[in-house]
Amino acid sequence: MSDNVAILEGFTQEAVASCDATDLYLLIKPGTDLDSAFRAWDTDEQEFITVNGWLFTFEFAKPETKTIVRCPRCGEPIWDVAKNSKLNKCWNCMLAFDSMEDDDNE
Ligand SMILES: [Zn+2]
């Protein structure tokens, strides 16, 4: 068993659950109701556990610091980002635009 098992089942959100007695390093499903009893992957014990969410306070690991490109016209996040062909494409309003502040290497 490894974290991959949990991730493949949709437990993709890293979270630290803290109470007076302990800290749990968890993977949970995005959108989990943290005030309920929910299933989570314990990354220390490498097993699924049930967390009584109301007993804990939660901290979430920062999502990867990846700049989200947004369409300058409609503000939609761009998934069709510039790679080799220099233009981002907004499939919401069909705008193609340069990635000005893209400091990635060629
Ligand atoms: Zn747009």
Mean pLDDT by 10 residues, the chain (106 residues): 85 93 94 96 96 95 69 88 79 85 49
CA of 74 to the centre of ligand 1 (A): 4
Q: According to the model, what pLDDT value does residue 59 have?
A: 93
List the end-to-end C-alpha distance of the chain, in Å, as a whole number.
39
Q: According to the model, what pLDDT value does residue 26 have?
A: 96
- How far is the C-alpha of 52 from the C-alpha of 38, rounded, in Å? 7
CA of 77 to the centre of ligand 1 (A): 8
CA of 96 to the centre of ligand 1 (A): 8
| pTM listed for this prediction | 0.56
Q: According to the model, what pLDDT value does residue 100 have?
A: 59
DSSP 84: S
The tokens for 95 are: 């705008």
Q: According to the model, what pLDDT value does residue 106 have?
A: 43
Q: According to the model, what pLDDT value does residue 64 have?
A: 57
Task: Tell me if 73 sits within 8 A of 93, measured CB to CB.
Answer: yes
Q: According to the model, what pLDDT value does residue 85 have?
A: 60
CA of 70 to the centre of ligand 1 (A): 8
